[in-house]
Structure 1
Amino acid sequence: MQIRFIGVLRPAVVLTVLALAALCTTPAVGAASSARSAAIGLPAGVSAGIAVFDRQTGTFTERLNARARFRSASVVKLLIALDYLWDRGPSYPIPDADRALLDVMLRSSDDGAAGTFWDRDGGGAIVERMVARLKLADTAPPPADRPGYWGYTALSAEDTVRIYRYLLDEAPAPVRDYVMGNLRASTRCGTDGYDQSFGIAAVFDRPWAVKQGWSGFDSNGCATGPAATRPPAPARTPAQTPAPAPADGVDLRRPALHTTGTVGAADRTIVAVFTLHAEGTPYGKAYSDLGAVVRQLNVPGATRTPGSWFGTWGSGVRVRARAGTDSAVLTTLPAGVDVLAGCQKRGQVVTVPPYTNDWWAYLPKYGGWITNIYVSSSGDKLPDVPDC
């Protein structure tokens, strides 16, 4: 992949420093929860709706604009899947062709699969049925003048918690196991070329299950394995292309990035974070800003990978299996994304004029290595990162 250079001066160190509030108890819904949410710092230009629900205590640990309505992007695929499974019963055999579509829609956020079910099962009527079945308060179909844009379905963080609570606590066990099994098998790259391992997946260790959403960005081409060595192919679909104006109080213009799912053993905590970003925000920056928000949240049962967060620069930066350019390419980074460095060591000498460096950082969330040249730091060796 081609690398875009940014001049002769190496980028200054960008360390994401977040102050986490010390919590002695888990707050219930109400004043204590509202006070905690007031401490969540949103990056400049970011609007958010947040709901974090601890299933063990039956309380919200975070609520910030939890009833605000966002365009759902691909999060609506949860409703599309549940609607498909609703009348089939726990032992109904899913046709192989439909199962393949459901799998790729839930694991890799495939838009074509979602469009197939949307058109076949009644479009906006899918959303209306699920609103009635799950008693959703803020969810609504896409605007009447955009009936095919399933990604414009209105959804809130609190309604998303309700969807997961139904799935985990009320749905027939085969439905729960099938849907959640797919969300646990979420792939790093969506089929449209976007890295979908942001938010929950980027911050917390497994076990987790995620359904992500994105709309209004250009991808720099996420790929894994041999495909990661090919040039990126920017992609947009009707579900992701922003509309020219808001509709019914739902902003359809600003780029949207959402992370939803469960974290911890036995799916202890449900997390729903919906975000909107300033127009023109690059995907990597939105990815990083969403991660900065998620890292602040009180998520009971969660385990966080140790390490230090750094910014990166360049486009198509490759993550490799070993600390050398002769090793396999595992994936590529979204341009300008923050990464978690777990440790570092000397490896192959790399030269990207005017820089030369033999230090490599291990990225535990990617399971591989990048040359420190592309990590935003003032020296060859990263500060406060141990040797491997």
Structure 2
Amino acid sequence: MTRWAGLAAIMLITAMIGIRVPTVRTPAEGNPVATSVAGAASAGSRAMRAADDAVGAARDVGVAIAVLDRTSGVMAQNSAATEPMFSASLAKVVVAVDLFDRRRTEALPLGDADVDLVRRALGPSDDAAMNTLWTRFDGMGAIGRVTARLGLTGTAPPVDPGIWGWMTTTARDVALLLRYVAEMPQPEGDVIIGALAEAPPVAADGFAQDFGLQAPGVRDITAAKQGWMQWPAETAYLHSAGLVGADHRFVVAILGRQTFPEPDWLTLRQSVDTAAAAAAGVLRDRLGPPVAAGGLAIPNVHFPGVVGHLH
């Protein structure tokens, strides 16, 4: 096998961490979202601009950024925020939302063991747990149902139904998705956010996930979902998106992509870290005291996110 063929076999997916504050919530579908204009003085707009400016011009690195203020409904986004990218394990949040919505509205049978699979898929980002949920509960259909319900215009199912990490999405859509999570009724929303709060620093696949919104110095005010993958060989993705503050007032989505003859994971991480720190630095002044405390490991070569053929 050539070096490039070996690299082309890499598909690595995610984990998350966060905070859990039970509140009475109603789903956010139908709530208007205004896109901020240049020069807007809101905290969300300033956070987005600080993050975008902090990224700078790292070679061959593109970072999409969206910041949503749930109080005002204003969405601030950079020019890349509507550009579709592979989702990696951000797809796990879509499936979790679909399962709990269907249980609430359609009486979908979802036992304790299934809820445990959701927690495992979201917390330690266990790909085997996600594979089971994907096949057992119509993961491909979940993407269509959630995008229609939330009005996500940049999210689409994977071209290969057996590789959920190939779902495409945008920073703007991820921000809308996580706003929905923050406003889901109990106990469903709290299961998702609680799984984020209990996520370990290292994912089930051994990938160190303390970057972006989960990095030291930032994770104390965030509940973030991480994602990473490399496909094709010359393109790497590193995502960090989550809820910021004890009341989850702000949603921050940072999706990173680098195309290079040989992706430089450390440079990509530095860009995501810098953007997250800059956004959190602006938002921290608008938040209450922290409610939770908090190296990028080069991934081992394996191919998670692939559902084996059923026999």
Q: TM-score, normalised by structure 2?
A: 0.71
CA contact (8 A) 2:218 2:276 kept: no
Q: SS state of the match for residue 89, structure 1?
A: helix
Which structure 1 residue ranges, 5 or more long, are not aligned? 1-26, 217-241, 245-252, 304-332, 337-388
Match of 1:197? 210
> Is the alpha carbon distance of 1:173 and 1:92 closer, same or farther for their aligned partners in structure 2, counting shifts above 3 Å?
farther
Correspondences of 1:60-79 after superposition (within 5 Å): 60-79=75-94
**Distance in structure 2 (CA, Å) of the matches to 1:295 and 1:334:** 16
**Counterpart pick for 1:59 among 74, 77, 95:** 74
Match of 1:4? none
Match of 1:268? 249
Correspondences of 1:1-388 after superposition (within 5 Å): 29-32=36-39, 36=49, 39-40=53-54, 41-89=56-104, 94-143=110-159, 146-169=160-183, 171-202=184-215, 203-216=217-230, 242-243=231-232, 254-279=235-260, 280-297=262-279, 301-302=283-284, 333-334=295-296
**Distance in structure 1 (CA, Å) of the matches to 2:158 and 2:130:** 14
**Distance in structure 1 (CA, Å) of the matches to 2:236 and 2:204:** 19
Identity between Structure 1 and Structure 2 (%): 31
CA contact (8 A) 1:62 1:298 kept: no
> Is the alpha carbon distance of 1:335 and 1:117 closer, same or farther for their aligned partners in structure 2, counting shifts above 3 Å?
closer
> Is the alpha carbon distance of 1:116 and 1:98 closer, same or farther for their aligned partners in structure 2, counting shifts above 3 Å?
same
**Distance in structure 2 (CA, Å) of the matches to 1:94 and 1:122:** 13
Aligned-partner residue type, residue 160 of structure 1: V
Aligned-partner residue type, residue 252 of structure 2: V
CA contact (8 A) 1:259 1:272 kept: yes
CA contact (8 A) 1:184 1:208 kept: no
Q: SS state of the match for residue 149, structure 2?
A: helix
Residue 182 of structure 1, CA deviation: 1.0
Residue 198 of structure 1, CA deviation: 0.9
CA contact (8 A) 2:63 2:272 kept: no
CA contact (8 A) 2:209 2:296 kept: no
**Segment of structure 1 superposing worse, 206-215 or 51-60:** 51-60
CA contact (8 A) 1:142 1:149 kept: yes
Q: TM-score, normalised by structure 1?
A: 0.58
> Is the alpha carbon distance of 1:45 and 1:74 closer, same or farther for their aligned partners in structure 2, counting shifts above 3 Å?
same
CA RMSD of aligned residues (A): 2.8
Residue 204 of structure 1, CA deviation: 1.2
Residue 28 of structure 1, CA deviation: 6.8
Residue 96 of structure 1, CA deviation: 2.9
Residue 142 of structure 1, CA deviation: 0.6
Residue 61 of structure 1, CA deviation: 4.5
Match of 1:384? none
> Is the alpha carbon distance of 1:265 and 1:131 closer, same or farther for their aligned partners in structure 2, counting shifts above 3 Å?
same
**Distance in structure 1 (CA, Å) of the matches to 2:281 and 2:145:** 31
Q: SS state of the match for residue 195, structure 2?
A: helix
CA contact (8 A) 1:265 1:301 kept: no
Q: SS state of the match for residue 60, structure 1?
A: strand
Residue 109 of structure 1, CA deviation: 1.1
Question: Deviation digits for residues 301-324 of structure 1, max 9, x if unmatched?
Answer: 427xxxxxxxxxxxxxxxxxxxxx
> Is the alpha carbon distance of 1:42 and 1:266 closer, same or farther for their aligned partners in structure 2, counting shifts above 3 Å?
farther
CA contact (8 A) 1:67 1:138 kept: yes
Q: Count matched residues.
A: 246
Aligned-partner residue type, residue 218 of structure 2: F
Question: Deviation digits for residues 78-125 of structure 1, max 9, x if unmatched?
Answer: 001111112212998842321221111111111111111111222422
**Segment of structure 1 superposing worse, 49-58 or 84-93:** 84-93
Residue 259 of structure 1, CA deviation: 0.1
Q: SS state of the match for residue 53, structure 1?
A: strand
CA contact (8 A) 2:214 2:222 kept: yes
